[in-house]
Amino acid sequence: MAQFQSLQEAVRDNLRDGDTVAFEGFTHLIPHAAAHEAIRQGRRDLTLIRMTPDIIYDQMIGMGLAKKVVFSYAGNPGVGLLRRMRDAIENGWPRSIETVEHSHAAMANAYEAGAAGLPCAVFRGYRGAGLKDVNPEIRSVTCPFTGEELAAVPAHRPDVAFIHAQKASRRGDVLVEGIIGVQKEAVLASKRAVVTVEEIVDDFDDLHPNLCVLPHWTITSVAHVPGGAHPSYTHGYYERDNAAYLEWDKVSADRDLFMQWMKTNVLEKAPDVFAERVKGL
């Protein structure tokens, strides 16, 4: 049953050192405020799962929170590379990290399998691809009916998922719309789920019945954080702050500049700054 909490409380109660955690959002609705709270609370030894690690994992890896990253595209979308993640992989700074690399199709299928309560995902993938030679979690099964060889990967089963969404009702039901990514699957695959939302409304009585809604009993905690996806965006509320993504390329290129930026913009701030950041977008 969803509890309404401050983001500080939600992170404190749901994310523990050593956890396997997914902060999801496919370009849209990336839970930046939640990731910043995790950084402020200084969680350690996390296994981070995410299709496109994006700026938030670049920041968490750069601050030394991660011991392992499971991913399928380590880029700053539309801009270039994730420089903090690269520094950890290439130079072990600030610590070395283990990586488990997949394709998007594998990651999406692994979340879906997790949500479906299956031990693994089966799909037609990785044919001729090099990843299956470097990732021992990519195996194959033979279809018992046709004899076709198919790829198999273990289901994602995070301890906790963090997502951002448009609305929660007073009961704690959550509405996600626009590019809905893999968030529903990430929530249903996880033991606990924390959702930050732009807005809390009385009920969802006037909504179209086919909208993507996660019932309150699938959610552990809801935190009201307007602007909580910035510099990603929330469809219907504010646009993607492309300039911030471009700026990150410069900030993340230098270790000292990065540490200074994190101090000023994350460590010394609280979740309420996000509402200010999306004004005018």
Residue 230 in the binding site for other proteins (CB under 8 A): no
Nearest to 214 by CA among 234, 187, 237, 192: 187
- Which DSSP category does 216 fall into? G
Binds other proteins (CB under 8 A): choice among 14, 58, 97, 126: 126
Cβ contacts of residue 138 below 8 Å, gap of 6+?
102, 106, 126, 131, 132, 151, 152, 153
Distance CA 251, CA 261 (A): 7
List the x/- string, 149-188, binding to other proteins by CB under 8 A.
x----------------------------xxxxx-xx---
Two tokens, residue 151: 């790829």
What is the three-class DSSP state of 244?
helix
Nearer to other proteins, 58 or 173 (CB): 58
Distance CA 123, CA 112 (A): 11
Nearer to other proteins, 85 or 165 (CB): 85
The DSSP bridge partners found for residue 4 are 222
List the x/- string, 23-52, binding to other proteins by CB under 8 A.
---xxx----------------------xx
Residue 94 in the binding site for other proteins (CB under 8 A): no
Contact (CB, 8 A) for 194 and 187: no
Amino acid at 225: V
Binds other proteins (CB under 8 A): choice among 40, 47, 57, 111: 111
Distance CA 232, CA 241 (A): 6
How far from chain centre, in Å, is Cα 78?
Answer: 18
Mark the segment that binds other proteins (CB under 8 A) among 7-15, 56-64, 75-83, 263-271.
75-83
Q: How many residues of this chain interact with other proteins, rule: CB under 8 A?
A: 55
Binds other proteins (CB under 8 A): choice among 1, 136, 144, 148: 148
Question: What does the binding site for other proteins look like in residue numbers (CB under 8 A)?
Answer: 26-28, 51-52, 71-75, 77-79, 81-82, 85-86, 89-90, 101, 103-105, 108-109, 111-112, 123-131, 134, 148-149, 178-182, 184-185, 212, 233, 235, 239-240, 242-243, 245-246
